[in-house]
Amino acid sequence: MAEELQVYVCYATARAEFLRPMKVAPGTTIGEAIEMSGVLQAFPDINLSTQPVGVYAKKKTLDTALRERDRIEIYRPLVADPKDSRRKRAAKKEAAAPAASPGHAV
């Protein structure tokens, strides 16, 4: 029998985090490891049909086979759209800038 793989399943919310080191058989998929980890029982709000998963910040599918030392991540929806946040900061900065007086070079 082939040696087991060391992998990690992680998930975090604003109030709690989950990091579980696990030994799995070669050929185990991301979905299977998530099921075995207990994270779905610890965080019943996780919905694997809508929440993306990945390994080291690269999105993967649930049927992706794991490799030694993979860190499986379950991603939460963004609280704010980064583009909207940038636009709001730029508008706020523009509004705070002093207006140039007529006849004065800037």
pLDDT for 93 equals: 83
> Is residue 68 a part of any domain in this protein?
yes
Summarised one tens digit per residue, pLDDT across range 37-60 is 999 999 999 999 999 999 999 999
Number of structural domains found in the chain: 1
Q: What is the DSSP string of the chain?
A: -PPPEEEEEEEE-SS-EEEEEEEE-TT-BHHHHHHHHTHHHH-TT--TTTS-EEETTEEE-TTPBP-TT-EEEEPPPPSS-HHHHHHHHHHHHHHHSPPPPTT---
In this prediction, residue 33 has a pLDDT band, given cuts at 50, 70 and 90, of very high
pLDDT for 68 equals: 97
> Is residue 101 a part of any domain in this protein?
no
Summarised one tens digit per residue, pLDDT across range 76-98 is 877 666 777 788 788 888 888 77
Write the CATH number for 16. 3.10.20.280
Percentage of the chain beyond pLDDT 90 is 66
The mean pLDDT of 28-34, rounded to a whole number, is 97
> Is residue 99 a part of any domain in this protein?
no
**Structural domain range at position 54:** 5-94
